[in-house]
Amino acid sequence: MEEKRIGVYICWCGTNISLMVDVETVAKEMAKLPNVVISKDYKYVCSDPGQDIIIKDIKEHNLNRIVVASCSPRMHELTFRKTLVKAGLNPYYFEMANIREQDSWVHTDRVEATKKAKALIAAAINRVSFHEALDSRSVEINPATFIIGGGISGLSAALEIADSGKKVFLIERSGRMGGHVADFDLTFPYMYSAQQMITPLIQRVKSHQNIELFLNSEIKEIFGYIGNFESTIHSKDGKETAVKFGNVIIATGLKTFDPSNIENYGYGKLPDVITSFEFEKMLLNGIIKTKDGKEPKNIAIIHCVGSRNKNYHEYCSRTCCMTALKYANQIRCELPKANIFDIYADMRSFGKGCEEFYTLSSRRNIKFLMFDQENDLPKIVSANSGDNCDMLIEINEKLTGKTIEVPADMVILMVGMEARENAKEIAHAVGISMCGNSFYIERHPKLDPVATTTNGVYIAGGCQAPKEIPDSVAQAKAAAARILATIAKGSVEVEVTTACVNEDFCCGCQTCIKVCPYTAISFDAEKKVSVVNEVLCKGCGTCGSGCPTGAIKCKHFTDMQILSQIEGIMKISHLELQEA
C-alpha cells in the first residue's frame, strides 16, 4: 500500500472564518496528526495564488491526498478537484471540511468554534486516507429526440431541433396538433390571433423532413438512459413502431378544471353559466349568444374557479386573470352596450404588457368586484321575472364590505388548470417525479427549470406548471438548446460515485430494487444478483443502506470512509476530554 502523504489547507475566507476560528493554531495542531506532511493556513485558498500553493506543495512534497477546510463543498469542491487534476492527481483524492457554514458562521464562541473546526478537519484527514481514485466515464449520444405532446411547447421544441438537422419523433395522443392554443381566438395582452400563430407551426412540423409525426399515438414505457433510450410507439390503429433516441422532452400540457363540483356556481344546472373555454369557442365562431339565442345584456366573469382554494387547487393558474381581461375587452368590442362585471379575487397582472393591459381595461367601463376566494365564493341564482335579467350573482364584496347583487345573463367561469389525468403514467414511463399537484418537478426550481432529475429527460410547457404561451415556448426552446448542446458534444459524462454490487455477497433479496428512486437497479435472473446500471445511478446511497448483506458498495461513500470520518471527530473530542 502506498504511503499516504496528506496536505491540509485551512482557509481564512477573509474574516469569515478567521474571526471565529483560530486558524493558525488549528493549522499547527493538524500538522501533528499522522500522515499529515504539510498544514497551512491562507487568506483565500480558492484564489489563484491559493490554488498555486497547493499545486506547488503537491509537486515539492510529493503529496497524494489533499484536505481543504473552508466553505461548503457546494461552493468550491469542483474548484479544488480541478486543482488536483492540474497537479496530476486523481480529483477524488480530495476531501473538504466545511468550517464556514457549519462552524464560523453559526457560532459565537471562538474557543468552542476552534475546537469544532479541529474535529471537522481531523475527520476529513481520516477520511481522505481511504479515498480511492475514480475515473470519469462518458456515454455516446444518439442524436434523435423524442417529444411527447404536440401542443405549442412540443411544436416549438420539435422545430428548433429539426431545423438544426437532427431527427425528431413527435407523438401526440389526439388526432390534431396545436393543443389548447389551437382552441383560442385572440391572446392577451396584445390581442394576437392564436390561429395565425399556431397554424404555420403545425404546417411546418407536418412538412418537415426531420420530424416524424405520430398522431393518435401513445407510449407505455421508455427504456435506457441518456444518449441511449428506446421505446415503442403504440398507434390507435394497432400499429407499433420501435424507436431509438438520445433525449426526451415531455410536453404533455395540462387540462382545464371541471367546475361542476362548485355548488355556488351552478355549472351544468344554469344553462348560461359557461366555462372560459366554452366562451372562447363562441369568440372563435364570432357569436356571443345565450342558450336561448338572445344577446346578453349583462355578462359576468368570475375569476379563480378551481384555483387558489383549499377545496380545489391551492395554486394560482397564472393565465386566467389576463384571459378574463381579454374577454372583457372582446365583449366590449362585440357588444359595446353590454354591462361587464369582472368578479375577481386578486388581479394578477404580472408579465410584460399585462399591468398596462389591466389599466387599459379599467378605462373601458368594466365593473370590477372583489370577493374572498378562500371563504366566501359568490353565489349564482336564477332571477325572478321582474328582475330584468336571467341570473343574479350574490357577492360579499370585499372592498365595500357589502352584500351586492349583480344582474347577469351570461356568466363566464375562468376555470383553472390542472395536471392531465395520465400525468402519473407518463412520469412512471420516463422515470421522473411529480409534485403534490401532479405537475412534473424540474431539477432545480431556479437554476435548472428545464431538466429533470433523470438525465436526458426534459420538461416544457404546462406539464411542469400552468403557464402562458411565451413561457411555454421559452421553456421548450431552452430544452431544445440543452439537447442540441449534448448532441453537439457527442457524448456525455456520467456520475462516477455510483453504487456497485459485490456479486459474491448479494443474496438476491431485491431490497435495493424496491428502494432505488431512479430505477437504476435490475435483477439478473440467471446469476440471481442485483445489477446496477451505472448511467442511471445517481449515487444517492439508498441501496447501500438498505442492503442487508453489505453487498452494495457506494463509491466515494464506502463504509470505511464514513467510519474513519466519524473516528476522526471522536479522536479530537477524546483528546479534548483528556485535556480537561
Which stretches of the chain bind other proteins, using CB under 8 A? 298, 339, 341, 347, 359, 362-363, 365-369, 394, 397, 399-400, 402-407
- Complex with other proteins: residue 52 or 372, whichever CB lies closer: 372
Closer CB to other proteins, 369 or 432, in the complex: 369
Nearest distance in Å: CB 338, other proteins: 9
Which is closer to other proteins, CB of 1 or CB of 399?
A: 399
CA distances from 166 to 3, 16, 80, 222, 404 (A): 52, 50, 37, 20, 60
Q: How far is the CB of 301 from other proteins (least distance, A)?
A: 14
3-class DSSP state of 351? coil
Min dist CB 409 to other proteins, Å, is 12
Q: With respect to other proteins, which residue has the nearer C-beta, 301 or 554?
A: 301
Distance CA 338, CA 21 (A): 73
- Torsion-angle region of residue 94: left (phi > 0), alpha (psi -120 to 50) or beta? beta
Residue 279 and residue 259 in contact, taking contact as beta carbons nearer than 8 Å:
no
Say which residue the cell 464514513 belongs to.
Answer: 562
Output the nine-digit C-alpha cell for 524. 439478473
Q: How far is the CB of 404 from other proteins (least distance, A)?
A: 6
CB of 297 to other proteins, least distance (A): 9
Nearer to other proteins (CB atom), residue 399 or residue 525 = 399
Q: Cβ 362 to other proteins, closest distance in Å?
A: 4
Q: What angle do CA 381, 377, 338 make, to 5 degrees?
A: 55
- Which amino acid type is present at position 256? T
Terminal-residue alpha carbon distance, the chain? 37
* Residue with smaller CB distance to other proteins, 64 or 349: 349
Identity of the amino acid at 448: D
What does the alpha-carbon distance between residue 70 and residue 222 come to, in Å, rounded to a whole number?
43
The owner of cell 368586484 is 369
Q: How far is the CB of 334 from other proteins (least distance, A)?
A: 17
367 vs 528 by CB, closer to other proteins = 367
**Which is closer to other proteins, CB of 97 or CB of 331?**
331
CB of 407 to other proteins, least distance (A): 7
Q: Are 67 and 8 in contact (CB under 8 A)?
A: yes
Q: Where are the beta strands (DSSP E) in 420-534?
A: 457-459, 491-494, 499-501, 521-524, 529-532
3-state helix, strand, coil split of the chain in percent (to 5) is 35, 25, 40
- Rounded to a whole number of angstroms, the minimum distance from the CB of residue 282 to other proteins is 22
Residues 6+ apart with CB under 8 A from 34: none
Close Cβ partners of 365 (under 8 Å, ≥ 6 residues apart):
332, 340
Identity of the residue numbered 40:
K
**Chain position carrying cell 379599467:** 362
Q: How far is the CB of 264 from other proteins (least distance, A)?
A: 16
**Closer residue to other proteins (CB): 328 or 469:** 328
Write down the least CB distance from residue 303 to other proteins, Å.
Answer: 15
Q: Please provide the DSSP assignment of 257-302 as one string.
A: --GGG-GGGTBTTBTTEEEHHHHHHHHHHT----TTSPPPSEEEEE
- Report how far residue 77's alpha carbon sits from residue 95's, in angstroms, rounded to the nearest whole number: 8
| Residue number with CB closer to other proteins (310 or 402) | 402
Closest to other proteins by CB, 242 or 399: 399
- Residue that the C-alpha cell 473516528 belongs to: 567
